[in-house]
Amino acid sequence: MSSELKDFQLEFGGVRLGHGTQVPIAEIEGLARPGVRGEMVEQPGADGAWPAPDWYAARTLRIDCAIKTPGDPAAARQLLAALQEAADDRRVRTVGSAVMPLRIKWPGSPARVLFGRLVKLEASWEKAAFGWVPLDLEFAAPDPRYYADVQQHEELRLGWLSGGGFTAPVQAPIRVTSGNPTGQNRPGWITNNGTADAHPVLTVYGPCANPVITHADTGRQIELAVTLAAGQWARVDTRLGRLTALRDNGGPVATTSRLDTFVLPPGRSEIRWTATDPTATARLTVAWRDAYIAL
């Protein structure tokens, strides 16, 4: 469990920065609206211009801070080394699309998370003997949205029967759905408490074949051409920069569906799924973080 941050604090790789820490921050840029990719196209033969769509660019935080350990240069060196070692994690640095969390706590809201990489870490050693090491940091987040500090999780099993039973004659294979049971807390209801679309990670556990996952509110679907035995799984990652459908052995799963448009909008929505399952024991898990465009 991550440690609790206080207002005006950040945390990267277990190193805490900001108010009340050994790494006070003088200035931080990039926390507000991210940059956009768009342009104004002049209208020929007419006044004014036509605004093209604005798409958010990656978010880059620029942090002017310093390590402050008066009379203890060794402690300053250790803090700097901890930041360097966190940024050097080979599981992130040498893997395409891999990112690390930067946790941020601002007044009036819970801690939020940016996912990216520390791309700049420069230190000035002129006053290191006094335990004062100014730092110039840059953190690049390919996804400009902020996310909740805690990931949410929902599990949906096959086997819900909306009609009260089977109608004879029954023939195998039986295609079972997640159904539509009544009640305020029925399975399949997903709540994104944020203010921006959240991109879920969907995992289907066998035994089942040809699962189809549907976002009931929009009708968007993900169809997977895969057969999973008991103990096997297939995972669809709709997060920005991932967009993969893989089996537990690392092999790809065939799908013609667009993964980037399968999102959880702010508020409550419903996920349903179907699959061919003779045992009615297959299950789907939905994992997501509430998404925000502002701290």
DSSP per-residue codes, 180-227:
---STT-TTEEEE-SSB-B--EEEEESSEEEEEEEETTT--EEE-B-E
Q: What are phi and psi of 74, to 5 degrees?
A: -65, -40
Confidence of residue 263 (pLDDT cuts 50, 70, 90): very high
pLDDT score of 1: 43
Residue 166 lies in a domain: no
Assess whether 157 and 125 both reside in one domain: no
Residue 47 lies in a domain: no
Taking CB atoms within 8 Å and a gap of at least 24, the contacts of 116-120 are 116/58, 116/59, 116/140, 116/141, 116/142, 116/143, 117/87, 117/92, 117/93, 118/12, 118/13, 118/83, 118/86, 118/87, 119/60
Q: Tell me the mean pLDDT in the region 103-130.
A: 95
Instruction: Assess whether pLDDT exceeds 90 at residue 248.
Output: yes
Assess whether 279 and 157 both reside in one domain: yes
E-strand ranges in 100-159 read 100-105, 112-123, 132-141, 146-148, 152-157
pLDDT score of 118: 97
Assess whether 286 and 249 both reside in one domain: yes
pLDDT score of 175: 52
- What is the identity of the amino acid at 180? N
Residue 18 lies in a domain: yes
Assess whether 157 and 131 both reside in one domain: no
Of 109, 144, 179, which residue is a domain's last?
Answer: 144
- Calculate the CA 156 to chain-centre distance: 20
* DSSP tag of 248: T
Residue 175 lies in a domain: no
What is the torsion angle, in degrees rounded to the nearest 10, for the CA atoms of residue 32, residue 38, residue 39 and residue 43? -130
Q: How many residues does the chain have?
A: 295
Of 144, 177, 210, which residue is a domain's last?
Answer: 144
Neighbouring C-beta atoms of residue 190, cutoff 10 Å: 20
Alpha helical stretches, state H, 88-148: 90-93
pLDDT score of 179: 47
Residue 1 lies in a domain: no
- Model pTM score: 0.86
Assess whether 125 and 221 both reside in one domain: no
> Residue 209: which CATH number?
2.60.120
HSE toward the beta carbon, residue 289, CA cutoff 13 A? 19
Assess whether 203 and 136 both reside in one domain: no
Neighbouring C-beta atoms of residue 274, cutoff 10 Å: 19
Beta carbons within 8 Å of 260's beta carbon, 6+ residues apart: 199, 238, 240, 243
Each residue of 31-72: pLDDT tens digit?
999 999 988 999 999 999 999 999 999 999 999 999 999 999
Residue 25 lies in a domain: yes
Q: How many domains does the chain have?
A: 2
Instruction: Assess whether pLDDT exceeds 80 at residue 21.
Output: yes
Looking at per-residue confidence, does 33 or 188 come out higher? 33
Domain holding 134, by residue range, is 9-36+54-144
Assess whether 224 and 132 both reside in one domain: no
> Residue 124: which CATH number?
2.40.30.200
Beta carbons within 8 Å of 90's beta carbon, 6+ residues apart: none
Assess whether 84 and 156 both reside in one domain: no
pLDDT score of 188: 86
Assess whether 249 and 287 both reside in one domain: yes
Instruction: Assess whether pLDDT exceeds 90 at residue 149.
Output: yes
| Tokens of residue 231, six digits | 């103990």
Assess whether 233 and 259 both reside in one domain: yes
Instruction: Assess whether pLDDT exceeds 50 at residue 184.
Output: no
Assess whether 31 and 132 both reside in one domain: yes
Q: Is the peptide bond before 73 cis (omega within 30 degrees of 0)?
A: no
Each residue of 271-289: pLDDT tens digit?
999 999 988 899 999 999 9
Express as a percent the part of the chain with pLDDT over 70.
89
Assess whether 156 and 104 both reside in one domain: no
Mean pLDDT of the chain: 90
Of 110, 144, 178, which residue is a domain's last?
Answer: 144
